A and B are shown apart, each in its own frame.
Chain A
Amino acid sequence: MSGEHSTYTPTSGIERWVDSRLPLPRMLHDSFISYPVPRNLNYAYTFGAMLSVMLLVQIVTGVVLAMHYAAETTVAFNSVEKIMRDVNHGWLLRYMHANGASFFFIAVYLHIARGLYYGSYKAPREILWILGVVIYLLMMATGFMGYVLPWGQMSFWGATVITGFFSAFPLVGEWIQQFLLGGFAVDNPTLNRFFALHYLLPFMIAGVVILHIWALHVTGQTNPTGIEIKTKTDTVAFTPYATLKDALGVSVFLIVFAWFIFYMPNYLGHPDNYIPANSLKTPAHIVPEWYYLPFYAMLRAITFNVGPIDSKLGGVLVMFGAIIILFFLPWLDTSKVRSAVYRPWYKLFFWLFVANAILLGWLGSRPAEGLYVILSQLGTLYYFGFFLVIMPVLGLVETPKRIPNSITEAVLEKRSGGSPATV
């Protein structure tokens, strides 16, 4: 699929028969066996495989959980408890699904950070990056609606607060909110439609993942040097080299996943969600799932009005803006050098960005008062400053380190202890 001619040779009569009718085995062979990948890929490039595995885990566990779940407000909570207590292995399937969502997000955040560090979003991979952001958005919508289904207190009030974001928009806000809820408040129509959409969206994610991989195989993978593939010596075959590396990465990831499922299955959840939803009583402290916390912190950081925009609308705009800005990343980064390995200043600002994102996540879990609000405001400032100021300016003023001529040269240099290699 990278424009090179196919190396697939059907050996048996059946393979030849299929190949001349629907060359699917050829496509799979060219995409996942003979497909050339840079020879210097490290373990940061294995998160894509983990994400594929997690999507599969979520779909498989989700489909079987749906066989026992009932999306109706009077029985939803009890049907989840029935899964936990009565359904054969129901506890395991539900813990896999609930923790699976968290591990899906752990993998996607590491995958995004890899892209930011090695400049994977830069030309000619803009569409590849944008499709990734689309997948991330779909994941967030799916995760949010899934969290509503157990119909606990956090389900109900999380849904109330998040659909409340839309009421911030002037004129049409209330109409949009009622349109999403199917009523004046979160109720049975809301639960029903969220279940239908929660079942649908993962398959849409799978569709966009296919486009994402297609785009990846058109441009070819990036690599830690950020230098494009120039000769055959720069590459190795996907199988066995990348396949085995991915398999090892996935195995380690799944061991940690299993540790959570069996030893701390509720660590990432919230105890209030084991209290049935009550539309007349709000829990004392509402927090979203951990993977939304940085955005939640930015929502609450806007405590002041800006001109005609009141603090409520401002917070909502900042929160949506924090995700929308990712779409424009390929054009905000002005640097000619792709990888942070050769950009000393960018490397520093990148790690500050990571630390800031973690700080914002922690602040999102704190009550919105005093010092926490001020720190959230500073964190929000750096988040947007990184994309809107540091990225465009740094590309123009930074002096990058010397860049090797090819991937092969970079690999040999490293092997001979840093001295320039003679190739």
Chain B
Amino acid sequence: MSEHQTSANKMGAPHAGPDGEREPTRRDFLFLTTGMAGAVGVAAVAWPFIDQMRPDASTLALASIEVDVSSLQPGMSLTAKWRGKPIFIRNRTPKEIEEANAVALADLKDPVARNANLPADAQASDLDRSAGQGKENWIVMIGSCTHLGCVPLGQAGDFGGWFCPCHGSHYDTAGRIRKGPAPQNLAVPTFSFVSDTVIKIG
């Protein structure tokens, strides 16, 4: 923009170009660039304020625990704490495994295994819910009802598995939802047997 313009132009008064259209002024240019810088600035400043709400690295780092299960005889369970949530570890009796195997997959409300150690589309058979071939007696699950997060009670409910007292969800001996408002089977976390008596979760 030339220095020889009239004061009216410097004040940003619209003035017609040769073809009748308004020529952009220095103020138009400043308005656009300042506005864009402002929008980017606001977004850049807003992000730390939003991001601080998310779980921080120390929370995320509580990624794995090791649990000694040598004391669990068939029919016994223990509850460990992982990521602030209870983990149910149960050494199931042959009768419980039999009961779970007797259920037709078509009768299940949630036919997916929900097992983090298997492909996402694995079927909710008893084998795929348990610790796998040779360790079918072990079941490891996040003890947080898939409805609204209450802790189900063990060896209770209509199917002898778990029962959530909050809103009445019944799970069977393989932790599969059978009755009530919960939409999914109890989740099986990533875990592995470090030795015959120690389970690593996460």
A interface residue numbers (CB < 8 A to B): 157, 160-161, 163-165, 167, 178-187, 189, 193, 279-286, 300, 303, 310-312, 315, 367-369
A23 to B84 alpha-carbon distance, docked (Å) = 56
Residues of A within 8 A of B149 (CB): 160-161, 163-164, 167, 185
Contact of B84 among A187, A303, A310 (CB under 8 A): A187
Residues of A within 8 A of B86 (CB): 279-280
Specify which of A163, A182, A284 lies most central, judged by the most chain B CB atoms within 10 Å of its CB: A182
A160 to B85 alpha-carbon distance, docked (Å) = 11
Cβ contact within 8 Å between A182 and B54:
yes
- Of residues 161 to 182 in B, which have CB atoms within 8 Å of A's CB atoms? 164-168, 181-182
Name which residue of chain B comes closest to A281, CB basis: B151
A281 to B150 alpha-carbon distance, docked (Å) = 8
**B55 within 8 A of partner (CB):** yes
Specify which of B144, B148, B181 lies most central, judged by the most chain A CB atoms within 10 Å of its CB: B148
Cβ contact within 8 Å between B59 and A161:
no
A269 to B53 alpha-carbon distance, docked (Å) = 30
B interface residue numbers (CB < 8 A to A): 53-56, 59, 79, 81, 83-86, 143-144, 147-151, 164-168, 181-183
Known A157-B150, A368-B167; further 4 A-B contacts with Cβ < 8 A? A182-B55, A189-B56, A279-B86, A282-B166
Contact of A179 among B54, B83, B151 (CB under 8 A): B54
Residues of A within 8 A of B150 (CB): 157, 160-161, 282, 286
Sort A-B residue pairs by CB-CB distance and give the 7 closest, nearest first.
A185-B84, A164-B148, A184-B83, A282-B150, A164-B149, A282-B151, A161-B148
Residues of A within 8 A of B55 (CB): 178, 181-184, 189
A324 to chain B, nearest CB (A): 20
Given A161-B166, A184-B59, check contact A279 B148 (CB 8 Å): no
B96 to chain A, nearest CB (A): 22
Cβ contact within 8 Å between B53 and A185:
no
Given A280-B79, A286-B166, check contact A182 B53 (CB 8 Å): yes
Cβ contact within 8 Å between A279 and B167:
no
Contact of B165 among A178, A282, A300, A311 (CB under 8 A): A282
Residues of B within 8 A of A286 (CB): 150, 165-166
A285 to B83 alpha-carbon distance, docked (Å) = 25
Name which residue of chain A comes closest to B152, CB basis: A282
A189 to B166 alpha-carbon distance, docked (Å) = 25
Residues of A within 8 A of B151 (CB): 280-282
A189 to B151 alpha-carbon distance, docked (Å) = 21
A14 to B155 alpha-carbon distance, docked (Å) = 79
Residues of B within 8 A of A186 (CB): 84
A168 to B53 alpha-carbon distance, docked (Å) = 20
B150 to chain A, nearest CB (A): 4
Residues of A within 8 A of B85 (CB): 184-185, 279
Cβ contact within 8 Å between B79 and A369:
no
- A–B Cβ pairs within 8 angstroms, 29 of them: A160-B149, A161-B148, A163-B149, A164-B147, A164-B149, A167-B148, A178-B55, A179-B53, A179-B54, A180-B53, A181-B55, A182-B54, A182-B55, A183-B83, A184-B83, A185-B85, A185-B149, A187-B59, A189-B55, A189-B59, A279-B81, A279-B84, A280-B151, A285-B165, A310-B183, A312-B182, A367-B168, A368-B167, A368-B181
B67 to chain A, nearest CB (A): 14
A182 to B56 alpha-carbon distance, docked (Å) = 7
Cβ contact within 8 Å between B81 and A280:
yes
B23 to chain A, nearest CB (A): 42
Cβ contact within 8 Å between B53 and A368:
no
A369 to B163 alpha-carbon distance, docked (Å) = 14
Residues of B within 8 A of A165 (CB): 148
B158 to chain A, nearest CB (A): 12
Contact of A160 among B59, B81, B148, B181 (CB under 8 A): B148
Name which residue of chain B comes closest to A300, CB basis: B167
Name which residue of chain B comes closest to A178, CB basis: B55
Residues of A within 8 A of B84 (CB): 183-187, 279
Residues of A within 8 A of B181 (CB): 300, 303, 311-312, 315, 368
Residues of B within 8 A of A181 (CB): 55
Given A184-B85, A279-B86, check contact A193 B53 (CB 8 Å): yes
Residues of B within 8 A of A179 (CB): 53-54
Residues of A within 8 A of B147 (CB): 164, 312
A109 to chain B, nearest CB (A): 25
Specify which of B54, B86, B143 lies most central, judged by the most chain A CB atoms within 10 Å of its CB: B54
Specify which of B85, B166, B183 lies most central, judged by the most chain A CB atoms within 10 Å of its CB: B166
Cβ contact within 8 Å between B83 and A284:
no
A193 to B56 alpha-carbon distance, docked (Å) = 14
Cβ contact within 8 Å between A182 and B59:
yes
Given A185-B85, A189-B59, A315-B181, check contact A284 B53 (CB 8 Å): no
Residues of B within 8 A of A189 (CB): 55-56, 59
A280 to B181 alpha-carbon distance, docked (Å) = 21
A74 to chain B, nearest CB (A): 14
Residues of B within 8 A of A187 (CB): 59, 84
Cβ contact within 8 Å between B167 and A178:
no
Specify which of A180, A184, A189 lies most central, judged by the most chain B CB atoms within 10 Å of its CB: A184
A285 to B164 alpha-carbon distance, docked (Å) = 10
Residues of A within 8 A of B53 (CB): 179-180, 182, 193
A285 to B165 alpha-carbon distance, docked (Å) = 7
A281 to B144 alpha-carbon distance, docked (Å) = 10
Residues of A within 8 A of B165 (CB): 282-286
Residues of A within 8 A of B54 (CB): 178-179, 182
